[in-house]
Amino acid sequence: MDQIKLTLPDGSVREVASGTTALAVAADIGPGLAKAALAAKINGELFDLTRPITEDADFAILTFKDEEGQHVYWHSASHVLADAVTQLFPGAKPTIGPAIADGFYYDFDVPEPFTEDDLVRIEEKMQEIIDADEPFDREECPIDDAAGTFEKMMNRYKVQLIHEIEDPIVSIYRHGGFVDLCAGPHLPSTGRIKSFKLLSVAGAYWRGDENNEMLQRIYGTARRDHRKLGRELDLFRIYDEAGAGLVYYHPRGAMLRHLVTDFVTREHLKRGLKRGYELVATPHLLKSNMWETSGHAQQGYPMYYTEIDGQSYGIKPMNCPGHVMIYGSHTRSYRDLPIRYFELGTVYRHERVRGFTQDDAHIFCTLEQLTEEITGVIQFAQDMLGVFGFEEYEVYLSTRPEKSIGSEQVWERATEALIGALEANNMTWEVDEGGGAFYGPKIDIKIKQCDFNLPERFDLTYVGEDGQEHRPAMVHRVVLAGIERFLGVLIEECAGEFPMWISPVQVKILPVADRHHEYAQQVAYQLRCADLRVEVDSATGTLGNKIRAAEGERVPYMLIVGDNEVEQGAVAVRKRGEGDLGPRPTAQFIEEVLPETKPDERFCALPRLEE
């Protein structure tokens, strides 16, 4: 059989048999890649994973991390939507259904507008189609044959589209009993769509022309949903009966949160890297006049208030006034600056998530130190995001909003300081007009804000080298932002498959039968002595059921223990995404996995020295 050469993005070359599918190549590279694969790129052209490759080519696998991969995912979901609608509403005529930013839509010609109840029914039917795991099959046919197919379905919209195609051959896609005109590519099957949500319905003219028919457009999104994953993995819940927007962490979720916040705290305390933050802690309540001084009250900030002993208090929506109070408790010299305060501060706002914790910090410095301090924050943010696998992000300079405090001169000086830091770090950014906080402009990664107003409003000073009082600059800064929001992004990015070092459960031990439970507990003890986070599946059931349950929990490692393992003092290892790795002594397994329990060494092993 003829061999062909595929050049991968890293420049390496793989030789495979002509006719091999992209999915087979992905599986050969690694089971994890095959599982995440959505489509392929062959010589710059998008391909179905199941299409055979017959010539030498530049080759890449697309996953949900790739924008083009996301569009394949969303467009496949739009076909499932159209299938569900035509099953529920036999007279419906599908027209077009493209992927768009963050989702998809599909336009339908229907006798009556869709209702909210209809969307619920459509979602249920879509889930049935997804559960059926029907393959997406591509078929190329002469243009007249394709037109005939849709004429029989009495879909004049598709026929019109076909007659506008200049190529004599067109492609159609089928899954189950549904057929659609489409260039593709698509996912291998409907079962690859793991999460979706229909968002809304609206009217839309055919081809965007108001002289044409009014159609019904259903918008949707199909992506990982941290709320759904949070329930599936038993990480957290929001109990409406206890209060909307308030997160309750279950044991595994609390462990995940602890691992992230503990790491963040330790990184703040490191010397070097323009860090060396000092820990502070401030109360959840401050007298309301404090929020008037800061400007939060006048700006209509979404705060909560309460009254105690006839005195009005505000529940803190931000930590900055508390840090200002600590700074103002002593006379400061220019030799004391910069002062960097850090707090994992829980705040409350009348927003969608009403209670959350920020990795919040405030830096008090001289004007001469400002650009250097902002540079340190930018580097810190890049390092921390890199540890968690976020190495691509956009940067925005957010300028003065309509509702704000302070003079134009103060805002101009703060904005210039941020621009100077961005330029010093050779960063590319876009301007977000009016996107700043009410007290100062900010750089959004999201990382920080620059403020000359709160030091003025709270009358903060330091004694300069000239013996006179001067006003410090104040940098407001979060690296990961709200911990709850960050965890939501992390859960979606990882699809619940957390890196070993922050997995709430790192190893699940699966005894084959009841007689192996005692040995399973002995193995668990050995692993816990090595600081590994371990659970033993003590439920009654078959080994196959236990393996499937552990896979559903996205546990990095499973250790199976049966008669052979008891006799040999060993464990049979299964790794997430790779499957069976075979047996080995328990001590050897511990030695092999311990390096995986550390954060990414590129970012946090050797801090840069102060310049």
The span from the CA of 462 to the CA of 606, in Å, is 34
Catalytic residue among 48, 107, 180, 360: 360
Specify which residues 248 forms β-bridges with.
Answer: 237
284 is catalytic: no
- Burial-class residue 3 by CB neighbours within 10 Å (0-12, 13-18, 19+): exposed
Q: How far is CA 258 from the centre of its chain?
A: 18
- Residues 17, 1 contacting (CB under 8 angstroms): yes
Q: Which residue has the tokens 């401030």?
A: 282
The span from the CA of 140 to the CA of 146, in Å, is 9
442 is catalytic: yes
Catalytic residue among 70, 175, 223, 358: 358
Catalytic residue among 175, 192, 476, 477: 476
Catalytic residue among 192, 349, 448, 576: 349
432 is catalytic: no
- Residues 346, 475 contacting (CB under 8 angstroms): no
**DSSP code of residue 597:** G
Give counts: helices (H), strands (E), the chain.
19, 35
Q: What is the DSSP string of 467-509?
A: SSEEPPEEEEEEEEEEHHHHHHHHHHHHTT---GGG-S--EEE
The span from the CA of 560 to the CA of 516, in Å, is 10
Catalytic residue among 75, 79, 217, 442: 442
**CA torsion 49→50→54→58, rounded to 10°?**
0
Catalytic residue among 182, 320, 450, 494: 320
- Rg of the Cα atoms in the chain: 29
330 is catalytic: no
The span from the CA of 169 to the CA of 459, in Å, is 75
- What the block records as the tokens of 537 is 């599946």
- Residues 6 or more apart from 325 whose CB is under 8 A from it? 282
- What the block records as the tokens of 595 is 């390096």
- Residues 161, 191 contacting (CB under 8 angstroms): no
With CA atoms as reference, report the closest residue to 122 among 220, 227, 192, 232.
220
- Residues 213, 111 contacting (CB under 8 angstroms): no
Q: Cis peptide leading into 338, omega within 30 of 0?
A: yes
360 is catalytic: yes
Q: Which residue has the tokens 């003065």?
A: 400
Q: Which residues are catalytic?
A: 320, 349, 358, 360, 362, 442, 476
